């Protein structure tokens, strides 16, 4: 047997033994519509200032978040901080996913969507992550592999960012993400596990659902760019950085005042995320007497086109007189 | 066919047959044909152990009881809203229905620890300390059995969705369960309702990170023609606990 023939047999054997893994994956390409049935207020109208519930913040993370003022994102230098890889977990984000193919082989999966600073390109060709000292691009750097129907992703080299919406919770450029992308029938689940040695005390885990939508937008609703421009003339070319001084954020107690949420939970301590914490609240927590704002907010505005028919609850957006008028019409 | 081609053909056939044989051995083959593997033996993932819910989402609605009328995020219809606004925990207590928020669709999003084990070779058991509930997840059986009485945890049909495992590759998969026959209950502690016509579909996935941390992600859909306008689709995550000392059974509570 000559060497060429032997090589052929070896390659054939290796292929037969290993090629099974190629079957263990699913087609992800397509458009997906958001299902905002979790954390609607954050992803819809936006979080209340001072609401860090569910976050395992470090003291540094909490202190930095409390400096945040709502016009800070209008400064030119910070307009893209709200748009980082995987920030779609906290936004009203539709997704479009496609593969990039080289010679018939998928070398990358790409995720695009509004509210991303750049498309997320997940390299599937086995390339290593760059040096820790390499440039951190807007999309970070992601590699992936399949484990069954789950695309397992590792994202590094991200930029400094605000990781939750509208409240200034920071993420450092040392954050790294493990991401699990699973499709079951028409449902796409993305689970992100963020580790940040600066601003988090333990991994921050979030799981969200999208639904495959063959009629989903392929155009402007899926742009992945961050456009900057002067938003507040009073800030233009002034060098001013809006902020609260430490200890002077008037919204630090917002969740305590309005929802009776204990301050240690409102300000995002890891121990408040687990069942044993709830038991410490017996006798300390009483629900507010009524829901006054964003009570049925999975819709944009009740009584208006696109809204759920007939609902009369307070979504917090309509002036009371208009809401009452709509309610009375029914 | 010349000699060289014959050898090549022979080698290819040998390689294919050897490959098949190795695969069979890896899957426990090599034994006389017998009854199909039990669901326990066929499990592509290991769901057993103690899992703790990480309440990093919807904290104000899952960790604590929100005010009456707070139905945000849930696609209720008007009838559902009206029922939610009529929530009266004292009435539930008087009726002995303080577990209405502990039925399967509400239970899984609660602040729970759950222990998953095999009740037998074809039934998974899910026990929670929160509300001291037990869910049984039997794998589909061809035997026709009369429907039991409606219950908080309903009647579940489970099936493995298996991927991989061919040609010597690693097997992966997930568990799919469909639960019906539910007693009317609450999706949220403050009386957001689901009806006895609700269908609760779940996909259970287990992921192990390189550092050894194991996460269970439950992607689920509640469909209810009575109180929901659209399917209520969410994903809930849990982490495996090696230290099981925080297991703390507490009975149902209609208010707290």
CATH number at residue A105: 2.40.128.20
| HSE (side-chain half, CA atoms, 13 Å) at B98 | 14
Q: Are strands A141-147 and A120-123 parallel, antiparallel or unpaired?
A: parallel
Q: Is residue A76 part of a domain?
A: yes
Q: Using the structure block, give the residue that is written with the tokens 């999208």.
A: A210
Token digits for B34?
């017998």
Contact B233 A203 (CB under 8 A): no
Q: Are residues A201 and A317 in the same domain?
A: no
Q: Are residues A65 and A176 in the same domain?
A: yes
Q: Is residue A204 part of a domain?
A: yes
Q: Are residues A53 and A144 in the same domain?
A: yes
Residue A86 CB partners (closer than 8 Å, separation 6+): A120, A155, A177, A179, A190, A192, A194
Lowest mean per-residue pLDDT among A6-10, A133-137, A247-251? A6-10
Three-state SS at B90: helix
Residue B230 has pLDDT above 80, yes or no: yes
Residue environment code for A31-51, b if the CB has 16+ CB neighbours within 10 A, otherwise e: bbbbbbbbbbbbbbbebbbbb
**Alpha-carbon gap, residue A39 to A168, rounded angstroms:** 16
Q: Is residue A65 part of a domain?
A: yes
Contact B72 A40 (CB under 8 A): yes
Token digits for B14?
């040998």
By Cβ distance, the residue of A5, A40, A203 closest to B73 is A40
**Alpha-carbon gap, residue A264 to A282, rounded angstroms:** 15
Q: Is residue A48 part of a domain?
A: yes
Q: Which of A178, A199, A222 is the last residue of a domain?
A: A222
Q: Are residues A194 and A318 in the same domain?
A: no
Token digits for B158?
């489970």
Contact A207 B233 (CB under 8 A): no
Give the model's confidence band at A226: pLDDT under 50 very low, under 70 low, under 90 confident, else very high.
confident
Q: Is residue A279 part of a domain?
A: no
**Alpha-carbon gap, residue B90 to A107, rounded angstroms:** 60
Residue B12 has pLDDT above 80, yes or no: no
Residue B81 has pLDDT above 50, yes or no: yes
Q: What confidence score (pLDDT) does residue B244 get? A: 97
Print the SS3 string covering B162-209.
EEECHHHCCEEEEEEEEEECECCEEEECCCEEECCCCEEEEEEEEEEC
Q: Are residues A166 and A315 in the same domain?
A: no
Least Cα separation, residue A217 to chain B (angstroms) = 21
Question: How far are the Cα atoms of A71, B132, B246 from residue B127, in angstroms, in the given order?
Answer: 48, 7, 14
Which ranges constitute the DSSP H helices of B65-161? 78-85, 89-94, 104-107
Contact B78 A261 (CB under 8 A): no
Token digits for A276?
């044993």
Contact B173 A294 (CB under 8 A): no
- Predicted TM-score of the model (pTM): 0.87
Cβ pairs bridging A and B (under 8 Å): 236
Give the model's confidence band at A322: pLDDT under 50 very low, under 70 low, under 90 confident, else very high.
low
Mark residue A185 as left, alpha or beta (left: phi above 0; alpha: psi -120 to 50; beta: remaining): left
Give the model's confidence band at A35: pLDDT under 50 very low, under 70 low, under 90 confident, else very high.
confident
Q: Are residues A304 and A200 in the same domain?
A: no
Q: Is residue A156 part of a domain?
A: yes
Least Cα separation, residue B144 to chain A (angstroms) = 27
Q: Is residue A78 part of a domain?
A: yes
Q: What confidence score (pLDDT) does residue A24 get? A: 54
Q: What confidence score (pLDDT) does residue A44 get? A: 79
**DSSP bridge partners of A181:** A151, A190
Contact A21 B169 (CB under 8 A): yes
Q: Are residues A190 and A55 in the same domain?
A: yes
Q: Is B206 in contact with B45 (CB distance < 8 Å)?
A: yes
As to burial, measured by CB atoms within 10 angstroms (0-12 exposed, 13-18 middle, 19+ buried), residue B41 is: exposed
Which ranges constitute the DSSP H helices of A110-268? 254-259, 263-266
Q: Are residues A70 and A215 in the same domain?
A: yes
Q: Which of A180, A204, A222 is the last residue of a domain?
A: A222
Q: What confidence score (pLDDT) does residue A14 get? A: 45
Residue A302 has pLDDT above 90, yes or no: no
Q: Are residues A55 and A192 in the same domain?
A: yes
Q: Is A121 in contact with A138 (CB distance < 8 Å)?
A: no
Q: Which domain holds residue A127?
A: 30-222
Q: Using the structure block, give the residue that is written with the tokens 């010349």.
A: B2
Q: Are residues A296 and A208 in the same domain?
A: no
Give the model's confidence band at A33: pLDDT under 50 very low, under 70 low, under 90 confident, else very high.
confident
Tally the domains of chain A. Answer: 2
The whole-angstrom distance between residue A125's C-alpha and the CA centroid of its chain comes to 26
Rounded mean pLDDT of chain B?
A: 88
Q: Which of A222, A242, A258 is the last residue of a domain?
A: A222
Q: Are residues A316 and A193 in the same domain?
A: no
As to burial, measured by CB atoms within 10 angstroms (0-12 exposed, 13-18 middle, 19+ buried), residue B140 is: exposed
Give B-chain residues touching A165 at CB under 8 angstroms: none
Q: Are residues A199 and A114 in the same domain?
A: yes
Q: Is residue A235 part of a domain?
A: no
- The mean pLDDT value for A156-176 works out to 94
């Amino acid at each position: 047997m000559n060497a060429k023939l032997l090589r052929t047999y070896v390659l054939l054997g290796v292929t037969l033994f290993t090629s099974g893994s190629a079957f263990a994956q699913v087609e992800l390409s397509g458009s997906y519509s958001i299902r905002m049935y979790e954390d609607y207020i954050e992803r819809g109208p936006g979080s209340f200032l001072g609401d860090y519930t569910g976050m395992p913040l470090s003291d540094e993370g909490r202190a930095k978040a409390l400096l945040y003022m709502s016009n800070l994102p209008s400064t030119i230098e910070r307009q893209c901080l709200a748009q980082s890889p995987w920030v779609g977990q906290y936004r009203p984000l539709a997704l479009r996913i496609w593969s990039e193919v080289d010679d018939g082989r998928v070398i990358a999966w790409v995720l695009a969507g509004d509210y991303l600073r750049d498309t997320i390109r997940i390299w599937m060709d086995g390339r290593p992550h760059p040096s820790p000292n390499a440039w951190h691009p807007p999309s970070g750097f992601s590699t992936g592999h399949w484990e069954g129907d789950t695309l397992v992703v590792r994202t590094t080299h991200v930029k400094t960012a605000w990781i939750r919406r509208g409240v200034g919770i920071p993420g450092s450029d040392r954050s790294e993400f493990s991401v699990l992308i699973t499709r079951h029938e028409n449902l796409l689940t993305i689970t992100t596990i963020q580790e940040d040695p600066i601003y988090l005390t333990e991994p921050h885990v979030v799981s969200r659902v999208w639904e495959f939508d063959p009629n989903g937008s392929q155009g402007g609703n899926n742009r992945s760019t961050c456009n900057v421009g002067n938003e507040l003339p009073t800030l233009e070319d002034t060098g001013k950085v809006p902020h609260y001084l430490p200890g002077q954020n008037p919204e630090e107690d917002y969740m305590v005042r309005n929802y009776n949420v204990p301050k240690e939970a409102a300000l995002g301590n890891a121990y408040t995320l687990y069942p044993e914490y709830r038991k410490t609240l017996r006798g300390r927590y009483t629900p507010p007497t009524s829901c006054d704002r964003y009570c049925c907010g999975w819709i944009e505005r009740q009584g208006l086109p696109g809204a759920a028919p007939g609902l009369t609850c307070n979504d917090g957006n309509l002036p009371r007189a208009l809401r009452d008028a709509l309610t009375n019409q029914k | 066919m010349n000699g060289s081609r014959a050898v090549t053909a022979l080698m290819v056939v040998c390689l294919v047959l050897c490959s098949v044989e190795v695969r069979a051995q890896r899957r426990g083959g090599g034994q006389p044909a017998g009854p199909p593997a039990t669901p326990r033996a066929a499990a592509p993932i290991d769901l057993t152990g103690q899992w703790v819910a990480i309440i990093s989402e919807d904290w104000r609605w899952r960790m604590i009881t929100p005010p009456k009328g707070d139905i945000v995020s849930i696609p209720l219809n008007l009838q559902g809203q009206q029922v939610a606004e009529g929530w009266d925990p004292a009435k539930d207590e008087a009726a002995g229905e303080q577990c209405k928020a502990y039925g399967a669709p509400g239970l899984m999003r609660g602040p729970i620890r759950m222990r998953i084990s095999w009740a037998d070779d074809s039934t998974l058991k899910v026990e929670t300390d929160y509300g001291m509930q037990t869910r049984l997840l039997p794998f589909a059986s061809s035997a026709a059995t009369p429907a039991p009485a409606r219950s908080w945890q309903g009647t579940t049909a489970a099936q493995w969705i298996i991927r991989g495992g061919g040609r010597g590759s690693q097997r992966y998969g997930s568990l799919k369960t469909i639960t019906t026959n539910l007693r009317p209950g609450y999706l949220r502690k403050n009386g957001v309702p689901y009806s006895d016509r609700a269908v609760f579909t779940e996909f259970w996935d287990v992921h192990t990170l390189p550092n050894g941390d194991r996460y269970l992600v439950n992607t689920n859909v509640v469909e209810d023609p009575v109180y929901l306008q659209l399917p209520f689709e969410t994903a809930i995550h849990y982490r495996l606990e090696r230290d099981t000392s925080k297991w703390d059974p507490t009975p149902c509570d209609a208010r707290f």
